[in-house]
Amino acid sequence: MGNALSRPLRRSKSDRIVAGVCGGLAKWLDWDPTVVRVVYVAASLISAAFPGILAYIILWFVMPEEGF
């Protein structure tokens, strides 16, 4: 497992369902994308969904896409 901080955080072009945010986080953390998605959805539901949706939208615009 490599040091995640040494790699840039980017949205995934290949492993995406909506915008590639969870796929990019999974690649950055060297985790399985399904685990990241399940944890993200669970955390969003526990926090009444709105903060999770807002965080996803912010990350969508802040994280550059792979290849740039």
Given phi > 0 = left and psi -120 to 50 = alpha, else beta, which region is 49?
A: left
Distance in angstroms (rounded) separating the CA atoms of residues 3 and 51:
28
pLDDT at 32: 93
Q: What is the mean pLDDT of each run of 10 residues along the chain (68 residues)?
A: 70 85 90 92 84 88 85
pLDDT at 62: 93
pLDDT at 8: 85
Contact 1, 16 (CB under 8 A): no
Distance in angstroms (rounded) separating the CA atoms of residues 56 and 46:
15
pLDDT at 2: 55
pLDDT at 38: 93
pTM above 0.85, yes or no: no
Distance in angstroms (rounded) separating the CA atoms of residues 49 and 41:
8
